[in-house]
Structure 1
Amino acid sequence: MNSFNLANPVFVAYAIAASLMVLKIMGQGWMTVYRMSKSDSGLVSPEDLRVGPINKNPRPEQLDVNDYVDRSRRMHRNDLENIPAFLIAGLLFVAVDPNLLWAQILFYGFVVVRLLHAVAYATKQSHEMRATFYSIGSVIVIYLAIHVLVVMIF
């Protein structure tokens, strides 16, 4: 059976989890833009201070770090550091025909901990709380990759 089609419930679980994570990455980028617009600050490049239809009154202080904007930018960067590895490892995991329930636990578990990580970051929770959610997601991705290697080698 071809693993990468909607007749395979493991691939369906992956497709749902992967789609949610792609939406998370893209949504976080838009959240940063929203926060920049709302606060009229948090710009990052000198050329952002040119007069334009969106920035009609550029000022040098718009380049100052604004935590409201930068927090969203850091969340986005964190997603970009973690979600692509899940997308790759998860797809490879599908290819080795894993148990459906186990795949669902891993895929949806990753989605849940990434969303909890985002909530913890957005609500300024402790580093320990964010690190816990990060660590669980990281362990899931590492497990996916090791599982693939074990199946392929043995």
Structure 2
Amino acid sequence: SNPAAAMIRNEVFSCFVFYAVLLVIKMYTIAIITGQVRLRKKAFANPEDALRHGGLQFHREDPYVERCRRAHLNDLENILPFLFLGAVYSLTGPSLTVARLHFLVFFLARVLHSLAYLLALQAPTRSLAYTAAQVPCVSMAVQILMSVASFA
């Protein structure tokens, strides 16, 4: 009785893992974009990188590089809690349909949030995407608390 195999056989947990891995790939993509924009704009955070790419004058900030960094930081602040909540929520025995809806809404909202951030889309696209992603997280948190409250 391998506990890891049992978790992967759990359809809800497998569904969560699918979206969690897509979200991690999305985060890596934003990091790669940030690096590429740094190179293109010649705006390096570290003096040694600036020296390697033309001189200390390139040890500087660039507004678009900073926008990419903020998008990445926002992912860290929101996707990391989702990874915890989604994993624990998966183990509380929710219906697959309801769980998939939670994971899908979060995933799509975070993709839209990143696009809105990187493309500087007009308000309120980014804030609506942010809020839409919070809804399934709050829902999962409440359901987790209700399922463990009797043990607290």
TM range (shorter): 0.7 to 0.9
TM (norm. structure 2) is: 0.88
Bigger relative contact order (CA 8 A; separation at least 6): 1
Give the counterpart of 1:59 among 32, 56, 59. Answer: 56
Moved more, 64-73 or 99-108: 64-73
Shift in Å, 1:121: 1.1
Moved over 6 A (4+): none
1:147 matched to 2:149: no
C-alpha distance in 1 between matches for 2:82 and 2:123: 22
Shift in Å, 1:47: 4.2
Question: What is the letter of the counterpart of residue 36 of structure 1?
Answer: R
**Alignment partner, residue 7 of structure 2:** 5
Question: What is the letter of the counterpart of residue 77 of structure 2?
Answer: E
C-alpha distance in 1 between matches for 2:141 and 2:7: 21
Give the counterpart of 1:81 among 57, 77, 80. Answer: 77
Aligned identity (percent) is: 28
C-alpha distance in 2 between matches for 1:79 and 1:23: 11
**Alignment partner, residue 123 of structure 1:** 119
**Alignment partner, residue 45 of structure 2:** 44
**CA-atom RMSD in angstroms:** 1.9
C-alpha distance in 2 between matches for 1:72 and 1:110: 20
C-alpha distance in 2 between matches for 1:24 and 1:127: 22
TM (norm. structure 1) is: 0.87
Stretches of structure 2 that go unaligned for 5 or more consecutive residues are none
Question: What is the letter of the counterpart of residue 7 of structure 2?
Answer: N
Tell me the alpha carbon deviations over residues 35-81 of structure 1, each in whole angstroms, 9 at most, x when there is no partner. 1112222x2234443x33xx2x1132x23321221211111011011
How many equivalent residue pairs?
148
Stretches of structure 1 that go unaligned for 5 or more consecutive residues are none
C-alpha distance in 2 between matches for 1:9 and 1:125: 36
